[in-house]
Amino acid sequence: MLDELLRAVLDLSEGKALELTKKLVESGEDPLKILDCVRAAADEIGKKFEKGEYFVADLVMAGEILKGISEIVTPKLREAGKKRKAVGKLLIGTVEGDIHDIGKNIVITMAEASGFEVVDLGVDVPPEKFVEAIKQHNPDIVGLSGLLTLAIDSMKKTVDAIKAAGLRDKVKIIIGGGRVDEYVKEYTGADAWASDAATGIRIMIKLMEEKRGG
Amino acid sequence: MTKEPIDLWIERHEKDPEAELKEKTERFLRAAQLKVPDRVPVAGVGGDFLCRYTGITWYDMSYNLEKIPGAVLKFVHDFPSDWSIIFAPMLLEGFVFALAFADYPDFSNTIRFLCGPVHDILKDKWSQWPGREIKEDMHPQFRGGEFMKPEEYGKFIEDPVEFIHDTILPRACPGLGEPGSSRWNAAWIRVGMTMQKIGAFQTQLFGELIKRGNAAFPITNAYTPADVIGDFLRYPTGAMLDMRRTPRDFKAACDALVEHILKVATAVPPAPPATFFFIPLHLNEMLPPKLYGEFYWPQLKKIIEVLVSKGYKGFVFFEGDHSPHVDTILELPKGWGIAWFERPRDFVAVWEKLKGHTTVMGGVPVSLIASGTPKQIDEYIKNLMVKIKPEGGFVLSPGVNELPADTPVANVRAYINAALKYGAY
């Protein structure tokens, strides 16, 4: 039935996926196995997006489905006294001056489905708030999101502030949004860039693998 | 110091603005008609960079009418272009207001954009303004929001205009109060008075811009039905989910909006030599071809076709990477208008598909101007011109006309210089 669930998610059949999840839970399936299925689905969705088979609207739908599944499974996980081991910790926010959050929220949903623990700082986040949050939460990765062109300057200021606070070596920084690219990555001093959530997640998973490997 | 092409162009504006105006108008119109002009037209820039360069804040650009003309006139003097979109005062998406009054062509198009002073009256939740919800030096921002429940599609479809006016506006604009209340009436009277003041200001400013050799064309406004739903009613993610969860309702709502959008657009009659209708696309790149083909393109295509048949020319901004849907543009009548592409993954490929059918605008990544070097910009545009120039029907522009504040002045000059150096046919 787990295979069937994976297929339902990839077909973006919301009703079917949630129904299957309920059935699985009722039949006593290990919640961790269902969450592994969610992770596998997120991975597959990302691949489909990168191949151009999926679009943002598909990620949004898939995200809703994965969130729905997690909501059914998580209480069972808690009941069983189990905990899912996080792949890594992501601290994310839309940078200062920008209040757009659609892209950031898609990243959060997909990152959580992929097994990341996520701390969301919201929108219009000043550099000093990122710095404080890094000290408080000790994330592996910092995600700077932004839609407007002005976000480019704010991303640079945020990276500079992280450097000035002596925290630059402790985190990997990824910038994301419709107007970022290689030029912007160089300019801001970030480690990586992505103009879509799927690529962003893949890069973050790779960064975590490198961290564990190194 | 040796003068660069841009310096000589500035001098020509100073000496004979009338000749410049004539040349630019001709140049831009020829490009819009798929013909070969004397040189590739170069589009202007602005945004945070304009504020930084002229030393005014976004608050000033939005509210301080006395400060705007000096800044705008200095900016277009120092960074000349063949055609530039100038929002002075600053404007944000507000097509929902035009729809609420779609049956009143004498003013529906006038309130198509939101400005700061009108936001102050309506207190709309769609937008945030400097010195109000956000800091004075922050760019005004359209945020959108969810103001309609999925179960309300039925009522919306019955009469979209009345539903927007009676139900959506009170929810989204606390400044209005209840429809028909004295607060409601007073607010709209104030909006009228404000728009009259701003209209007079714009007429004067644009008169001044034209006098200084800047080309301007009459513009009317239209919108894609699915974007009305995404931007103003259900939030973009809500609209995307509705396409899957309640497809019949969503499609019927899009279909129901077409005639009202056309009413707003035709409120400005077409005048020679060209009246453009502007449509910014928002959900386009986010949709897979199946959803685009069912819920987005058919209604947009209908709107474009009707307006073109009535004598208007299109000016459509294809936000994001429109590459997956570019082929559909070929379904439109040849010479329908200008397609401005923000960041297609391969601009030249888009050009190759559309050349001779659609005027293509864009080609320069904003990030290159913002964070490249003048030499990189020069080389990039030189190479682009080699690939694109022979055909005509091309307007050189960044993906969007807004540049970040920290963009080096030398980079913006390099962009204009390169257009002048390599753009001549």
Same domain, A96 and A177: yes
Q: Which residues of chain A make contact with B287, given a CB cutoff of 8 A?
A: 55-57
CATH topology assigned to domain B5-92+213-422: TIM Barrel (3.20.20)
B324 touches chain A (CB under 8 A): yes
Longest dimension (CA), chain A: 54
Same domain, A158 and A187: yes
Q: Which residues of chain A make contact with B46, given a CB cutoff of 8 A?
A: none
Q: Give the model confidence (pLDDT) of B129-143 as tens digits.
A: 999 999 999 999 999
3-state secondary structure B136-162: CCCCCEECCCECCCHHHHHHHHHCHHH
Q: Compute the distance between CA of residue A75 and CA of residue B360 in angstroms, rounded to an integer.
A: 54
Q: Which residue has the tokens 């910092």?
A: A142
Do residue B243 and residue A98 have CB atoms under 8 angstroms apart? no
pLDDT of residue A214: 62
Q: Compute the distance between CA of residue B31 and CA of residue B361 in angstroms, rounded to an integer.
A: 10
Domain boundary pick from A79, A105, A132:
A79
Domain boundary pick from A56, A79, A102:
A79
On whether the CB atoms of residues B27 and B41 are closer than 8 A, the answer is yes
Q: Compute the distance between CA of residue B14 and CA of residue B265 in angstroms, rounded to an integer.
A: 36
Q: Compute the distance between CA of residue A181 and CA of residue B371 in angstroms, rounded to an integer.
A: 10
Residue A31 is part of a domain; what is its CATH number? Answer: 1.10.1240.10
pLDDT of residue B258: 98
Same domain, A75 and A125: no
- DSSP letters spanning B216-285: ---EEE---HHHHIIIIIBHHHHHHHHHHHSHHHHHHHHHHHHHHHHHHHTTS---SS--EEEEEESSGG
pLDDT of residue A82: 83
Domain boundary pick from A46, A61, A79:
A79
B96: tokens are 């929902």
Helix (H, G, I), strand (E, B) or coil at A203: helix
Residues of chain B short of pLDDT 70, as ranges, are none
ipTM given for this complex: 0.94
pLDDT of residue A150: 85
B245 touches chain A (CB under 8 A): yes
pLDDT of residue A83: 82
Do residue B367 and residue A52 have CB atoms under 8 angstroms apart? no
Mean pLDDT by 10 residues, chain A (214 residues): 95 97 95 93 92 94 94 90 90 94 93 95 97 98 92 95 98 94 94 94 95 81
Q: Give the model confidence (pLDDT) of B101-160 as tens digits.
A: 999 999 999 999 999 999 999 999 999 999 999 999 999 999 999 999 999 999 999 999
Do residue A153 and residue B406 have CB atoms under 8 angstroms apart? yes
Residue A101 is part of a domain; what is its CATH number? Answer: 3.40.50.280
Do residue A153 and residue B405 have CB atoms under 8 angstroms apart? yes
Q: Which structural domain range is residue A23 located in?
A: 2-79
Do residue A14 and residue B244 have CB atoms under 8 angstroms apart? yes
The alpha carbon of residue A131 is apart from the nearest alpha carbon of chain B, in Å, by 21
Same domain, A60 and A96: no
- The domain spans of chain B are 5-92+213-422
Count of domains for chain A: 2
Same domain, A207 and A109: yes
Residues 6 or more apart whose CB falls under 8 angstroms from that of B359 comprise B31, B32, B33, B34, B335, B337, B338, B339, B393, B394, B395
Provide φ and ψ at A48, rounded to 5°.
Answer: -65, -35
Distance of CA A197 to the CA centre of its chain: 7
